[in-house]
Amino acid sequence: MLRSIERDGEVDRIAVEEPLEIRVGREPVAVTMRTPGDDEALALGFLFGEGLIDGPRRAAPPTDFAANVVEVEGPLTRELTARRFYLSSSCGVCGKGALEEVAVSAPRLAGGPRVPRDLLADLPERLAQPAFARTGGLHATGLFDPSGEAICTREDVGRHNAMDKVIGWALAQGRVPLADSILCVSGRLAFELVQKAAVAGCPILVGVGAPTSLAVELAADRGMTLCGFARGGSVNVYAGAERVT
């Protein structure tokens, strides 16, 4: 969603950022700052990535028609030590009440496709970002098959939200675990993005930017192929090089 504003006699298109409250079983669980759109998928992807649901659920606007709210069928699959999360558009782990809530368990990733290095380097060029092209203010995540064909792409002001929207879509479509897929993100590779990809069972994660130390450590620990600085026909492989041909 975009909005027009006037600046120095010209009209700019800017990305919309608004809060979204996620409820489970009618109880508030999280508030995230996001770009409106695909809110049901965002809620499902977030809850799945946090280990709070273990499969597809019904997600819909609330019966009281409250704005910027999505209700997901309960119950939670694990108890929260904090009553609710608050996530800014720049941070996917903000507001968590205990260290154990940062690390969500995910099985070690085995198998997965073997992909040519030049295809991985080219994925950001295939990552459709129409709203970014108009505003310069959005992140994107794309889900690709081993041939590099885009399956699903979503944009959002929050890079973690963009990934949640893609994973939530895949969850609702019965595509999770993403055992034969590749995720590509438009920015840097932080810990929470690797964690979300690992929980979704995706063996390869590619980013335009740099990875953090925790991202590399988690990817290696979970058996994930992690690639950064994918741009200009080159890519750096930081973990899981056995899947790169």
CB count in 10 Å sphere of residue 105: 9
Q: How far apart are CA 210 and CA 215, in angstroms?
A: 10
Which are the contacts of 59, defined by CB distance < 8 A and separation ≥ 6? 40, 41, 43, 44, 70, 71, 72, 73
- Distance CA(225)–CA(215), nearest Å, equals 11
Report how far residue 50's alpha carbon sits from residue 108's, in angstroms, rounded to the nearest whole number.
17
Distances (CA, A) of 74 to 23, 39, 58, 80, 82: 9, 17, 9, 14, 17
- Asked if 91 is an active-site residue, the reply is yes
Catalytic residue among 91, 94, 152, 227: 91
Are 171 and 48 in contact by the 8 Å Cβ rule? The answer is: yes
The closest of 33, 40, 36, 38 to 71, measured between CA atoms, is: 40
Rounded to whole angstroms, the Cα distance separating 137 from 144 reads 23
Which residues carry out catalysis?
A: 91
